Amino acid sequence: MTLQKILKFRKYGLYRYKYMLVLYHERPKSMYSAMALVPPFILIWKAKQMYNSKLYKHECIHHRQILELFIIPFFLWYILEYFISRFKGMKHYEAYRNISFEKEAYYGENISNYASRPRWYGFLKFYN
């Protein structure tokens, strides 16, 4: 049975994509479609995103960032940048896009093999 057929019948599941383990849980009212968790896991909420290669590149970049900084410092830095942007008066989506990790991930998702290149602490280039 193909992944597409499985998704028609299941509202949740665990799938494998390259080195990542994809946790799928249908949640149609979600604003975002995916989230990088502790490597090798990513969480996807929308079935149509299961085949989106840009999304996987984006999440691979986040996995590399998590491995560079380790888990707790990565998430603390991520949340701190978000709240600093919100404190500056930015709205939610604008503050989310202003996070240096997200800037690097959105930049790298359009470049082939960006996640596999050794760019240690590449997100610092996007920090402002």
The mean pLDDT of 79-106, rounded to a whole number, is 96
Give the pLDDT confidence score for residue 90 in this predicted structure.
97
Please report the pLDDT score of residue 105 as a whole number. Answer: 93
Would you say 85 and 99 are in contact if contact means Cβ atoms under 8 Å apart?
A: yes
For the chain, domain boundaries: 3-126
pLDDT bucket at 6, cuts 50 / 70 / 90: very low
